[in-house]
Amino acid sequence: MSDSSPVSQTAPPRLHFRVPPEPSHLLRARDRIRDYLRQYCAERQVINDVVLCIEEAATNAVRHSGSEQDIEMSLRFKDGDLVAEVRDWGRGFDVAGFDREALPDVSSEHGRGLFLISRLCDGMELWRDGGLEVRMVKKAVEPREAVAPRSGLSGLRAPG
């Protein structure tokens, strides 16, 4: 018996863009990521988790990298997974020293971003190579056929 719902045989296009390492640019980046995910992902919780994780990684880059070069962000569907990457060109940190199991100090003003990412994603990898790359994976997220974004103009009539 076959399922009658349309299933895309090709993966959605990869979303890839750069933003200046300034807090004022992160809001628009978050909106762009959310728009992409709403178009290709049906699961609201996955969308919320991935947006939060990318925002945390990008905020870390803005606050700690020290680089003036743009931060790179990308999203793609690959082999049934949703893969998100955030890369900066700053000083990074000792990625081997990050303990995924250690609870962050709740009284500290920082230090919770990577912990949150490691808990909300099915996989997280850190690379330090001329900066820091954070790769996050949500497993078993099949893309859906693209949904046209809502414009808010559908109820307007043309003059005449």
Which of 31, 35, 30 is closest to 12 using CA atoms? Answer: 35
Write the pLDDT tens digit of every residue in 80-100. Answer: 999 999 999 998 777 777 777
pLDDT, average across residues 23-30: 94
Write the pLDDT tens digit of every residue in 126-151. Answer: 998 889 999 999 999 988 887 776 65
pLDDT confidence of residue 152: 53
| Residue 60 near residue 106 (C-beta atoms within 8 A) | no
> Dihedral of CA 14/17/23/27: which sign?
negative
pLDDT confidence of residue 156: 53
Instruction: List the single range of 7-11, 48-52, 106-110, 117-121 with lowest mean pLDDT.
Output: 7-11
- At 110, is the pLDDT very low, low, confident or very high (cuts 50, 70, 90)? low
pLDDT confidence of residue 9: 57
Task: Answer yes or no: is pLDDT of 112 > 90.
Answer: no
| Residue 11 near residue 76 (C-beta atoms within 8 A) | yes
pLDDT confidence of residue 1: 45
Residues forming a β-bridge with 127: 133
| Tokens representing residue 151 in the block | 């414009």
pTM as predicted: 0.81
